[in-house]
Structure 1
Amino acid sequence: MLDVTKDKIREAAEQKRREYEKQEREKDEQLRQLQVEANSKRAELLGYRFGYIRGQRYFANLDIRDIRQEGVRIGLFGPAGSGKSSFIVTCERALRPYLCKGTAGIQDAGGEGTIILEECLKELGSDFCLVDTRGFFRHDADEFTALTNIVYGRIEPGQHITFDRRVDNVGSEAYFSKWLHAIIIVLSATDPRLQDGHTHRNNLNVVREFMRPRGIAPITVITHHDKIGKGEERDILTKASTATGSSRDHTFFVTNYHEDKKDRDYNTEIEAMKVMKSALNVAERFVRIHKQQEVYKEVDKARSSQRGTEAVEDFFRRLSAKRHIPFGRFQPIIDVLKREDITTSQSLCDNWRDVQYTVSMSDPMKDYIDEELSSTLQNLHL
């Protein structure tokens, strides 16, 4: 009887040993697969050349030499304490696995004063870099000016970002390679301004209105993923996507590396590299839209001698294509203009100042029309 008991004990112990070894083999295999995936994504990003994601045919007949020479610039924005600098550290460690820490300084929840624009990952030799703007989000007109200065390349790496004036050193079409070609907005999953569902959404409304007509599709990174429960994920994802205007496909949870974390985490690195690839994807789309608009402008100049007899419908079709606004939204304006016998772009230029107050439209729509009329009037006098 004693021998039978000993046999059962040995058998149970052997079964436990086999189960443990099986679990260890499965862990090792999972780790190996993660390592293979991380190495593959890293090689893809380190070898990135502009146009690799969308394909060269996507840019057929467009002059993209400036971007190929200078590379894609991806800007990062977010409140101080959102984990934005930690995300840059995570990206650096993902692409340079021999690093134990990154180069970006990490801010606490304060410190939103004067800041310096910095480029990261430029030295890796790929056709892209991250542009760190540090702590942001006072949500006022001065900060919006700073945002536009950064987006249009008026502030160069190493320069202080000013919140109280427009910088005019660069920023024209000739400096398109200095613009930001993609934007990542970083928000913390634990931020009460995100969790309440309306503070960040209201504060970011002006940013969304700035990006949408320009074809800028923001990427959203939600940090501090490890500090929320599984049941909270969907709600936070929805609130972050709504606040920034990102699609769900462009909204990512990321668990950043921390400054004192030395061990490799392949899941963290894969998350960060997915964000970078997504940003490159939307950047290529943005470049194509902009380059097509440049072609349209050249065509417009060639047709400027005929612009005075252009039908008012064609004026708004051109504006619709340029601003990516459905043509139907202009139809009520066209109807009012026709009732006033304004049927050509020349007549529209001559009478817009008087007739605009009889047309119901939003302020952004009025600004787009004013800008296009100014361009049309300029071309008519070339």
Structure 2
Amino acid sequence: MGVGKAMFLSEGTAESGAKVKFEPVQTNSIRQEYVCDKNEVAAAARRVIEMEEKGKREEAVNNILQTVRPKLDKYKFGDIIGMQQFRASKLDTTDIDDVNILLFGPTGAGKTCLVSMTETMFGLERMSAPQAGGGEGTIHLEPFLEKHTGGFKLLDSRGFFTLDEDFMSELNDILKGQTQALDLIKRKYDDIDSRAVSNTNEEILANRIHGLICVLDYNDPRFGKYKDKMNQYRRLFKKEGYSPVTVVSYKTEEAIPETVRQTKQEEAAFALGAAIDRTFIIRNAVAQSGGMDNNEQAILLQILETALLGAEQFIKIRKLDEKWKKVDEKRQTGGGVAEFIISLQKKYKWEQKDVDDLSKLFEDEDIGTTAALKENWEYLKGKIPKWGIVDIISSELH
């Protein structure tokens, strides 16, 4: 017959090795007694707790797969923090087509493998080609995923051997968009013929790197030294406004003990100046057979979502900086053109339609200050139909 419920009953003082009576209550009147070792009872209790924790983990994993994956699969700029944050601050983001996420780290750490795992997770044809045998693989700034999502791309960079000044300069050029997608990341010891790099000194926000993922190898013998060697990089990321994501990649099929995992996670977070909740450990599924399980897909989705969160916040901060810089420029050049037109309207009794037409013209031509108006006046006055207004503005400007 079925069992209604179970109780643990102890007999007297339970010394080490003492017996504990486990007495299930049957739905019929038959009573059965089982005598088991106290350690067995404790083990059974631990198994129950582990099963409950496993159930919670599986629920969390399923939630990520069901919510985060569809969002990233159809990602558009602003989906993470919300476009209302940009609209509320009146920030123009029409120039941002793709969010650029840079993967960087030591040679052989697993950067390209992380790209391959992402392509596989989204069901894409694998365009990335992870290196084999420990040699150097990627030497160009390779873009991936841009045609799939239409909202972000991963840029796989050349791995570093040493954290010297040359690599700092190389990384800085990539961050600022002076080295762009498909450019050769050329080093002084290279003997390679390739097309010239973009080599532009103009900083355009859309061309910049917006988010960072640093990939480190779990078994890298230099791992513990990165916290000292990467001081200047932490300062650079902080100065530029980046919130890097750190990924520790391992190749073994065996699970990593939790205490070891925590230590490695803390070391990696400190090395990059990343928060612990922006630091992840993931198995390199490309290097092992069997592909990714649900848990590994969930971790990869969290990595991408966290990187995109930092990227959107980076763009917002940069846009705010641009906005306030323009305000400062107006103050330094004697005010804005809108205030100038309004003052002329009051002085010369212009009709509102004439003022609206002027405002639209100057807005279309991106004339925001009286200094810019004066500089471009010879060109602009030919676009104003009323010569009386042209004569007045000419007189007031000079």
TM-score w.r.t. length of structure 1: 0.65
Residue in structure 2 matching 1:131, options 152, 155, 180: 155
Which residue of structure 1 aligns with residue 171 of structure 2?
A: 147
Residues 175-194 of structure 1: pairs in structure 2 closer than 5 A: 175-194=204-223
Separation in 1, partners of 2:333, 2:164? 42
Deviation at 1:124, TM superposition (A): 0.6
- Where does structure 1 differ by over 4 angstroms across 4 or more consecutive aligned residues? 27-37, 164-168
Superposition map of 1:1-382 within 5 A: 37-60=64-87, 61-67=90-96, 70-96=97-123, 102-107=126-131, 110-112=134-136, 115-164=139-188, 169-173=199-203, 175-194=204-223, 197=224, 199-224=225-250, 226=252, 228-259=256-287, 261-305=289-333
Which digits, 9 at most, give the CA deviation of each residue in 1:14-48, with x for residues without a partner? xxxxxxxxxxxxx9999898567424322110111
What amino acid sits opposite 1:162 in the alignment?
Answer: K
Deviation at 1:157, TM superposition (A): 2.0
Q: SS where residue 100 of structure 2 aligns?
A: strand
C-alpha distance 32-219 of structure 1, shift in aligned 2 (>3 A): closer
Contact 2:141–2:156 (Cα < 8 Å) also in 1: yes
Three-state SS of the structure 1 residue aligned to 2:222 is: helix
How far has the Cα of 1:169 moved from its partner?
3.0
Q: Output the amino acid matched with 1:73.
A: N
Alignment RMSD (CA, Å): 3.2
Which position in structure 1 is the counterpart of 2:19? none
Deviation at 1:292, TM superposition (A): 0.7
Structure 1 219/236 Cα, relative in aligned 2: closer, same or farther at 3 Å?
same
Shift of 1:136: 1.8
Summarize deviations over 1:36-77 as a string: whole Å, max 9, x none: 74243221101111111111221121111111xx21000000
Q: Deviation digits for residues 242-273 of structure 1, max 9, x if unmatched?
A: 10110111111111212563545111111111
User: 1:84·1:134 contact (CA, 8 Å) conserved in 2?
Assistant: no
- Do the aligned partners of residues 137 and 186 (structure 1) sit closer, same or farther apart at CA in structure 2, a change above 3 Å counting? same
Are 2:64 and 2:301, in contact at CA under 8 Å, matched by a contact in 1?
A: no
For residues 283 and 109 of structure 1, the distance between their equivalents in structure 2, rounded to whole angstroms, comes to: 33
Q: How far does residue 298 in structure 1 lie from its aligned partner after superposition?
A: 0.7
Structure 1 pair 134–114 and aligned structure 2 pair: CA distance change class (3 A): closer
The structure with the largest helix share of the pair is 1
Q: Give, in angstroms, the shift of residue 239 of structure 1.
A: 0.7
State the Cα distance separating 1:224 from its structure 2 match: 0.8
Instruction: Look up the SS of the partner of 1:65 in the other structure.
Output: coil
Q: Aligned AA for 1:189? A: Y
- The SS at the match of 2:283 is coil
After superposition, what is the alpha-carbon deviation per residue over 1:331-370, rounded to whole angstroms, capped at 9, x for unaligned? Answer: xxxxxxxxxxxxxxxxxxxxxxxxxxxxxxxxxxxxxxxx
Which whole-Å CA distance do the structure 1 matches of 2:168 and 2:116 have between them? 26
Q: CA distance change for structure 1 residues 260 and 168 in 2, over 3 Å: closer, same or farther?
A: closer
Aligned AA (2:164): D
The 8 Å contact of residues 215 and 249 in structure 2, kept in 1 or not, is answered as yes
Query: Alpha carbons of 1:287 and 1:32: their partners in 2 closer, same or farther (altered >3 Å)?
Result: closer
The 1:108–1:200 alpha-carbon spacing in structure 2 relative to 1, beyond 3 Å, is farther
Quick one: structure 1 residues 241 and 28, their matched pair in 2 at CA, closer, same or farther if it must change by over 3 Å?
closer
* Letter of the structure 2 residue corresponding to residue 120 of structure 1: F
Rounded Cα–Cα distance in structure 1 between residues aligned with 2:76 and 2:166: 36
Kept in 1, the 8 Å contact 2:138–2:156? The answer is: no
Give per-residue Cα distances to partners, 1:192-246, cap 9 Å, x unaligned.
211xx3x211221121111101110100011117564322111111111110110
Distance 1:260 1:164, change over 3 A: same
How many Å separate the matches in 2 of 1:301 and 1:34?
A: 50
- How many residues are paired up? 276
Separation of aligned partners in 2, 1:263 and 1:218? 27
The aligned residue for residue 353 of structure 2 is none
Change (3 A) 1:65 1:33: same
Which structure shows the higher strand fraction? 2
Q: Percent identity?
A: 31
Map of 2:192 onto structure 1: none
Whichever of the two has the greater Rg, that structure is 2
Structure 1 SS opposite 2:303: helix
